[in-house]
Amino acid sequence: MIESTSLGYPRIGPGREWKRALESYWAGELDEPALRSAAARLEGGALRAQAEAGLDIVPAGDFSLYDHVLDAAALIGVVPAGFPRAGDGPVDLATYFGMARGTPDAPALEMTKWFDTNYHYLVPEFGAGQGFRVAWDRPFEALAAARSAGVRSRIVLLGPVSLLLLGKVRSGGVDPWRDLLPRVVEVYGEVLRRLAERGARWVQLDEPCLAQDRTEADLAALEGAYRALARAKGDLRLLLATYFGDVRPSYATLARLPVDGLALDFVAGEAGNLDALLRHGWPADKTLVAGVVDGRNVWAADLRGRLDLLARLAGIVGPDRLQVSPSCSLLHVPLDLDAEGSLDPEVRPWVAFARQKLREVVTLAAGMNRGTQAVAAELAANTEALERRRRCPRLRQAAVDARLAALRPEDFARRSGYARRRAVQDERFHLPLLPTTTIGSFPQTAEVRRLRARRRRGDLSAADYRAALDAEIRRTIAVQEELGLDVLVHGECERSDMVEYFAERLDGFLITSAGWVQSYGSRCVKPPLLFGSVRRRRPMTVRWTTYAQSCTPRPVKGMLTGPVTILEWSFVREDQPRSRTCREVALAIRDEVADLEAAGVGMVQVDEPALREGLPLRREGWAPYLAWATAAFRLATAGAHESTQIHTHMCYAEFGEIIEAISALDADVLSVESARSGAEILAAFRAHGYDKAIGPGVYDIHSPRVPPVQEMARLLRATLAVLPAAQVWVNPDCGLKTRAWPETVAALRHMVEAAARVRGEVAGGGR
């Protein structure tokens, strides 16, 4: 019998209850027992909901208080220097959240993207003399929660090999495989023994790093680790789970591991994984968990096509060795389409959120076990929805097709080189050495959010709404002038989200009311649905930017989101190449750049924080992706006059490996996250050089901590050790939307003072 299961589930709650609980706890409005009680309610509700959906095996332990990678680090007692430790005792919540958000004495852990998703994980730090122990009780609590919920469960843990690969060794001379992995595996073995003693039957160890390029040393370390775990686990059964791609280079190693099952992705990795099974066969001692329903995107599965694939897989592995699952954790999609009240009725049948994806999984298992007649109604409805989608005229607009076809090479290049542009822009703006600015957004207060909500409900007239936002813009401009910033922004008070705002104003997108997904911690985003031809209907930002510029003689940047980021942070149509869809978005942004320029705006920032995120997991796909992604950015910006200064911004990803592509964007000014990652990007500039202006961030905005002036000045001096002062700008790591005004003003005041201090050193010949 083919069973149904999943690899993970959304953890924010039906109404983002976990966000509110966390933020109340951090504000001191909720104590620790109340927070833990809220977590238990959400975790139990998620377990029961999955069982009620019909899953035979429910994942448990995937719920996290903040981040599952941080959980894995806490599980084995990895706490960096600077955070309180309790000897051999457990990691407490103060330490756990301190690592996530920083403390007065220590900055937060580095944060970066979880593979090619928009989820952010916290980067564990390992060092020489690192001690390991079982220091976090979440797996055991999860097992108890599953038992209390009355579900047949499988405990989920991040695997030890991926944990080390996702972390960073902060000490020289430490070899992760030789010096760390054996001791990490020893602690994992103890965790497995304790779970077995408490009655666990299956444990899922996630090793998503196997979808990336792996060396022979990596695979040897993997094999050694799992042979050691097999000796420690007793009667416990192990499922090694991979996702986000195929495992062709690693398949031979995986096939001989002493584990009881492998979970493989047959959506992102369908061709490669199927090829590996057909070429090398399936080991008779293992269960295959086949991820045939897309866990990353919201489009309904082609159920008949998925049944055909499952039939092929059953013929290879045997029906008694096959389970049906989403391709990865459903963490990456919204929870429930039934809670979505505003989605276009034409598009709604094409869509499946997490609960609907579980229904698809259960339907597929039933179809395999009892025949297609048993699910005839579901198959008929699915076929009709897919056929209506294929025939929808909104998928292709003739005007958009014609404009794409007419593009010429010169549409992708600025009219003059950077050196010429720099001279013209210097003459226009007369900025000081080390000019100061911010990334774009300023704090979104409760009052601003209420204004937007009142306008959506119709409780506020358009004129009154504009007047209220104008007042907020005036305030934001005045604060920046008082602080002494050189280049200002209007603050983005009219925007709920840097992608959603534009999606609301472009053809081809739909906005949800309840389509929330977790980005990190308590931060949730609502990705739009990009389903059809993209076209700009009218100017989107000109009115707010020009109003802000009228309030000050200092330059104000126009703020736009770039085409790659709009693509990556949306649920994107899969019926045409992503490169084509990205060009459609780029043309819409190009039109906005032109209108801002025509209105007299001299600086335009086109943010691309997702450029690195979209990079394929294997290097063989890097060059094609970077070619079309950088071309899309240039298409969006190349129409600007040489006197218009084009900025871009990137954050929270590993950029060193793609520094040539970043330079190929041909932006005049790049602002980039640097403070939270320990200024690692400076090593890339040292190795490869960079000839344009750049602002490596001097403080981390995702933490409430306000760094002292000396700390920011130290980071700025580190930048000047690599780059000439004439190239360097001074700015935070990212936008300030999630911060409160008092800490924002305090941090920016420190930043401006640090810039002035170092500017004086440079002018005095000290640098």
- 535: nearest Cα among 586, 486, 493, 499: 586
Phi and psi at 202, nearest 5°, equal -130, 145
> What region does 34 belong to: left with phi over 0, alpha with psi -120 to 50, or beta?
alpha
CA distance 293 to 599: 48
Q: Is there a catalytic annotation at residue 702? A: yes
CB count in 10 Å sphere of residue 190: 15
Q: From CA 547, how far away is CA 744, in angstroms rounded? A: 23
Which is catalytic among the residues 120, 490, 647, 702?
Answer: 702
The vertex-246 CA angle with 243 and 247, nearest 5°, equals: 100
User: Quick check: 83 and 99 in contact, CB under 8 A?
Assistant: yes
C-alpha–C-alpha distance, residues 530 and 639, integer Å: 25
The secondary structure of 655-722 as a DSSP string is -GGGHHHHHHT--SEEEE--TTTTTTHHHHHHHH---SEEEE-SS-TTSS----HHHHHHHHHHHHTT
Distance from C-alpha of 46 to C-alpha of 495, rounded to nearest angstrom: 32
Instruction: Assess contact for 283 and 239: CB atoms under 8 A.
Output: no
The angle formed by the CA atoms of residues 325, 111 and 563, to the nearest 5 degrees, is 75
The per-residue DSSP string of 414-437 comes to -SS-HHHHHHHHHHHH-PPSS-B-
CB 109 within 8 A of CB 702: no
- Specify burial of residue 665 (Cβ count, 10 A radius: 0-12, 13-18, 19+): buried
- Contact in structure between 674 and 654 (CB atoms under 8 Å): no
* Distance, CA of 522 to CA of 524 (rounded, Å): 6
- Compute the distance between CA of residue 761 and CA of residue 747 in angstroms, rounded to an integer: 21
SS3 32: helix
Which residues have a catalytic role annotated? 702
